Structure 1
Amino acid sequence: MNTLIFRTLAPVIVGIMLVFSVYVCLRGHNEPGGGFIGGLIAASAIAVYAMAVGVPAVREALRFEPTAFAGFGVFIAAGSGLLSLGTGSPFLTSIWLYLNLGDTVVPLSTPMIFDIGVYFVVFGTISAVALALQGDEGEEP
């Protein structure tokens, strides 16, 4: 499966998958999608890249262990719930902020921050599993 064509096209495929995963994550609080599905798509991109270039190259490209991404996601998701406590509202109450950028209004919310946290948790967890299953070349288990 590791052909020259696959190794050549894999970075392009991975780039498209990662951009699409971010799109799915960010539209998820208003439409179908969200952090879970976006994280699965991103982890699938990492698995495809690992098939093309090998697990050690993917670990080097990520710069952090996948489990660190998962821990960061838990921190972000929990922080989104704690933001509501600063306003005197119950835990996990939605807070919305609307930014006016000229002709465009950009809604920001704590549910979106929670989705981003879920994205990182799913990405980190599934990427760690995928990389472990593919195995490191040259390393003994």
Structure 2
Amino acid sequence: MNSLILLTSSRIVLPVAILFSVYVLLRGHNEPGGGFIGGLIAAAGIAVHSLPRGRNALVRLLRVSPKALIGSGLMLALLSGLPGLLLAEPFLQHQWAFPGGLPLSTTLVFDVGVYLCVIGAVLTFLAYYLEA
């Protein structure tokens, strides 16, 4: 696809989409958002960047295979359930820690796993339709 407008505007869209997707990811436990919608926003930004540039630009941008993102996301989501099991609670029973008053939980680890899975799935699908 040779679109000068898309080629130029995607340089602005990509960083804005990534920043907004991380914002949506991080606020997802307490507000609307989370890993799924954050991953869709990031994948849309990467797709807009890759459409006028082709499959090689997508591979250069990601530096890993989109399928590797799916696998690492699944591993993170799976690992987020293990602390509950180690504390004799149900699998995926999320655990909270408050180091220095900052609330951290395994929920965020699960959401990051979903985020990576969604990005990987969308970009795996997209890669088949991009020109080399």
Q: For the Cα contact (< 8 Å) 1:50–1:131, is it kept in 2?
A: no
TM-score normalized with structure 1 length: 0.86
Q: Distance in 2 between matches of 1:4 and 1:43?
A: 21
Identical aligned residues as a percent: 45
Root mean square deviation, CA, Å: 1.4
Amino acid at match of 2:116: F
> Which structure shows the higher strand fraction?
1
Q: Distance in 2 between matches of 1:108 and 1:121?
A: 21
TM-score normalized with structure 2 length: 0.92
Residue of structure 1 in register with 2:123 after alignment: 127
Structure 1 position 79, deviation (Å) = 0.2
Q: What stretches of structure 1 of length at least 5 have no aligned partner? A: none
- Counting matched residue pairs gives 132
Counterpart of 2:99 in 1: which secondary structure? Answer: strand
Q: For the Cα contact (< 8 Å) 2:25–2:34, is it kept in 1?
A: yes
Q: Distance in 2 between matches of 1:27 and 1:93?
A: 19
Q: For the Cα contact (< 8 Å) 1:2–1:51, is it kept in 2?
A: no
Structure 1 position 66, deviation (Å) = 0.3
Q: What stretches of structure 2 of length at least 5 have no aligned partner? A: none
2:111 is the alignment partner of 1:115: yes
Q: List 4+ stretches of structure 1 deviating above 2 A.
A: 1-6
Q: For the Cα contact (< 8 Å) 2:73–2:112, is it kept in 1?
A: yes
Structure 1 position 74, deviation (Å) = 0.2
